[in-house]
Amino acid sequence: MMDITASDSARAAFPGIEPGDEAALLLTMCTIREFEVEVQKLFAQGLVRATTHLYQGQEAVATGACAALKHGDTMTCTYRGHGAVLAMGVSLSRAFGELLGRGRGLCGGKSGSMHLTDAPLGAMGSNAIVGAHLPIANGLAFAARYRRTDAVSACFFGDGATNIGAFHEAMNLAGVWRLPVIFICENNLYGEYSPVHATTPITRLADRAASYGMPGVRVDGNDVLAVREVMSAAVERARGGTGPTLIEAMTYRIVGHSRSDPGAYRPAGELASWIERDPIKRSEERLGARGVAPGMLEAIRKEAVRRVTAASQLARSWPPPAAEALLSGVYA
Amino acid sequence: MSEVTYRQAINAALDAELAADPDVFLLGEDIGAGGGVFKVTDGLFAKYGAERVFDTPISEQAIVGCALGAALQGLRPVAEIMFSDFTAVCFDQIANQIAKYRYMTDAQVAVPLTIRMASGAGGGFAAQHSQSAEQWLLNIPGLKLVVPSTPSDAYWMLRAAIRDPDPVLYFEHKFLYGRKGEIAAHAATPALGSVAVARPGTDVTIVASQLMLHYALEAARELAADNISAEVLDPRVLRPVDVSGIRTSVARTRRLLMVQEAPVLGSWSASVVALLAANGPAPWSVPPVLLTGADTPVPYAAELEAAYLPNTQRIAAAARKLVA
């Protein structure tokens, strides 16, 4: 069967929907949501090892930002990276295959949940070390500059990463060299279990951009169209040689930090208030207000479930990696 | 060919690769118009300009990360970390990123980058500018660690490192920069190489690299006056490790003396002895000797640093004891 992706043109299932329509973005968001729900099930069944860092609630950030990219651009992200990787158009079955540790997984079963990579699509690595990929994102941007292409480098990270040294070194170098990189800080209000105010002496993380000579923009990260709009402006700046931008996308993970986290540190009512602002619900409401029929919205949700279910089933049918794979790929 | 210094050989290798491949570029602290603190990149900025030679902030994580990102896109960065001790401030980029990117992605990408750095003791630079940082990096599969000891190896191994598809960490001993030698003629760039016989002999095998290699060669000359024939081996590449050349030599001489500047625990010399002992029949007739730096930080005062480091006399004495 053909590989299915989260960002496959919605047109195949819905002839009226064009790429870039909010309905197409909604399908991507729903597919990411369903992917994460399926990952939870597979984890509960003992089929996914170690831990998972899920993305439910933040889908509009990756979906909106990646919608502003084009072929040849690159993306790096964190270990909460399933959403961003899927938004780059990665095969759903090969992503499941990687989480399941199968030889046909994206990384041959060598990376698991935290390191999903699909280099041909520009998904250049999910990183399990907080902040480590910001310097690497600079290098990807540097390569575009060096080769005089107009490619840009998009780099997702969390609020917690803004307190690690690599963030500051990378922001400074990007600023002084005016690299075509877009730093997207997904501020979900918690660095692991700790609220931002307990770890960071400022409330507006976008303000950190000023220290590095680049614009800092805050955006409603649960509004997929708003994210795409600020990202498009940042991408345009980067392609035009004007330099980097820091985007702070305000969002919320409606699940715990990782599998071991029930989220008991959240104040009463906080989770409920963010579920009210759920990015999928927001897009559905807006589309409904514009006259999209409820049946269509329901069909989009069902299509996401269909894609995810088919991909998961396919991946589960694949064998584990061959034993010889252990030793391959350390050196060229 | 006329003699050049180790510094000039490195400079010439960078020059040759910059000229041969437009994907090669240099980045590091003060390497541009300044020519680097050890003047290794002198003249390259004037020749290749700001399009190929990049001065960076004092930000080692940013330097190595930038090199990695560029390498993932197929460029061939040559980064300079001023002193190998500073790998400690970008250890994540080296240990968790450049070393693992190829493996973690199931070889979707290659990491053809080179990191040059000055290492080693002997000049009174004290504890934070004198270490042999290659020893810290031994336990990281994915890295290649090279320690050239002569101008010819410095030249050819750097050219091979830059052309290599894997990340190569290239250690320049700061006490060898002024040492002169001829650059061997090769029709094409040889591979990174393996253990070389720096001086043939029959009675004892001495393994040492960089400054210690030159001390070992002096010791071998002294020993020859006493009719002791020492074979001196230059490992050249520490990782990936290949002990077959050492085993062959020791199987003949039956005696092994490992010499290094760094403390012994977790070091290359200790690992080589373990690999020789654990795989196959013991090649030696008497237990091997590890002559290493003291188990202390590198001290400043000349007398203390001299007490810390192995030297020609200590190498000769250890060899005499082994053959006695």
Q: Do A138 and B165 touch (CB under 8 A)?
A: no
Tokens of B142: 């994915």
pLDDT in tens, B190-221: 999 899 999 999 999 999 999 999 999 999 99
Domain B4-181 is found in CATH 3.40.50.970: yes
Chain A: residue whose CA lies nearest to B24: A146
* In a domain? residue A325: no
All residues at 6 or more sequence positions from A16 whose CB lies less than 8 Å from its CB, including other chains: none
Q: For the residues B146-175, what does the mean pLDDT come to?
A: 98
| B66, B164, B240 member nearest A138 (Cβ) | B66
Regarding beta strands A181-187 and A190-191, do their DSSP bridges make them parallel or antiparallel, or are they unpaired? Answer: unpaired
Q: Which of A75, A29, A33 is nearest to A223 (CA)?
A: A29
| A110, A138, A173 member nearest B103 (Cβ) | A110
pLDDT of residue A260: 82
Chain B: residue whose CA lies nearest to A147: B23
Regarding beta strands B196-199 and B230-234, do their DSSP bridges make them parallel or antiparallel, or are they unpaired? Answer: antiparallel
Provide φ and ψ at B282, rounded to 5°.
-60, 125
Q: Do B93 and A135 touch (CB under 8 A)?
A: yes
The alpha-carbon radius of gyration of chain B (Å, integer) is 19
CB distance from A327 to chain B under 8 Å?
Answer: no
Q: What are A153's strand-pairing partners?
A: A74, A181
pLDDT of residue B276: 98
Q: Do A117 and B108 touch (CB under 8 A)?
A: yes
* In a domain? residue A268: yes
CB atoms within 10 A of CB A200: 17
Interface test with A, best of B26, B104, B139 (most A CBs within 10 A): B104
Q: Residues B298, B308: contact at Cβ < 8 Å?
A: yes
Tokens of A238: 């980067």
Tokens of A89: 């158009």
pLDDT of residue B1: 61
Same fold, B4-181 and B196-323: yes
In the block, residue with structure tokens 């069909």: A299
From the list A265, A286, A301, A306, the catalytic residue is: A265
Name residue A233's amino acid: A
Q: Percentage of residues in chain A with pLDDT exceeding 70?
A: 98
Q: Which of B133, B56, B39 is nearest to B89 (CA)?
A: B133
Give residue A259's pLDDT band: very low, low, confident or very high (50, 70, 90). confident
Q: Which of B261, B257, B258 is nearest to B310 (CA)?
A: B261
Alpha helical stretches, state H, B197-259: 210-225, 244-253
CB distance from B75 to chain A under 8 Å?
Answer: yes
* In a domain? residue A3: no
Min distance B54 CA to chain A CA atoms (Å): 10
Q: Percentage of residues in chain A with pLDDT exceeding 90?
A: 89
Q: Which residues form the domain of A126?
A: 52-293
Min distance A94 CA to chain B CA atoms (Å): 13
pLDDT of residue A3: 62
Give residue A7's pLDDT band: very low, low, confident or very high (50, 70, 90). low
Residues of B in contact with A147 (CB under 8 A): 73, 75
CB distance from B61 to chain A under 8 Å?
Answer: yes
Tell me the CB-side half-sphere exposure of residue A247, using CA atoms within 13 A. 29
Tokens of A18: 């064009």
* In a domain? residue A272: yes
Q: CATH code for B196-323? A: 3.40.50.920
Q: What pTM value is reported for the model? A: 0.97
Chain B: residue whose CA lies nearest to A74: B73
pLDDT of residue A9: 64
Number of domains, chain A:
1
Residue ranges of domains in chain B = 4-181, 196-323
Q: What crossing angle do the helices spanning A165-177 and A133-146 adopt, rounded to 10°? A: 20
Q: Do B66 and A173 touch (CB under 8 A)?
A: yes
Chain A: residue whose CA lies nearest to B94: A132
User: How would you write chain A as a 3-class SS string?
Assistant: CCCCECCCCHHHCCCCCCCCCHHHHHHHHHHHHHHHHHHHHHHHCCCCCCCCCCCCCCHHHHHHHHCCCCCCCEEEEECCCHHHHHHCCCEHHHHHHHHCCCCCCCCCCCCHHHHCCEHHHCEEEEECCCCCHHHHHHHHHHHHHHCCCCCCEEEEEEHHHHHCHHHHHHHHHHHHHCCCEEEEEEECCEECCEEHHHHCCCCCHHHHHHHHCCCEEEEECCCHHHHHHHHHHHHHHHHCCCCCEEEEEECCCCCCCCCCCCCCCCCCCHHHHHHHCCHHHHHHHHHHHCCCCHHHHHHHHHHHHHHHHHHHHHHHCCCCCCHHHHHCCCCC
Tokens of B272: 């080589």
From the list A53, A253, A282, A307, the catalytic residue is: A253
- The 3-state DSSP class for residue B315 equals helix
CB atoms within 10 A of CB B214: 21
Q: Residues A185, A159: contact at Cβ < 8 Å?
A: yes
CB distance from B129 to chain A under 8 Å?
Answer: no
Tokens of A123: 């998904």
pLDDT in tens, B267-303: 999 999 999 999 889 999 999 999 999 999 999 999 9
Specify the CATH number for the domain of residue A120: 3.40.50.970
Q: Do A170 and B56 touch (CB under 8 A)?
A: no
* In a domain? residue A315: no
pLDDT in tens, A52-102: 999 999 999 999 999 999 999 999 999 999 999 999 999 999 999 999 999
- Catalytic residue flag (residue A53): no
pLDDT in tens, B4-22: 999 999 999 999 999 999 9
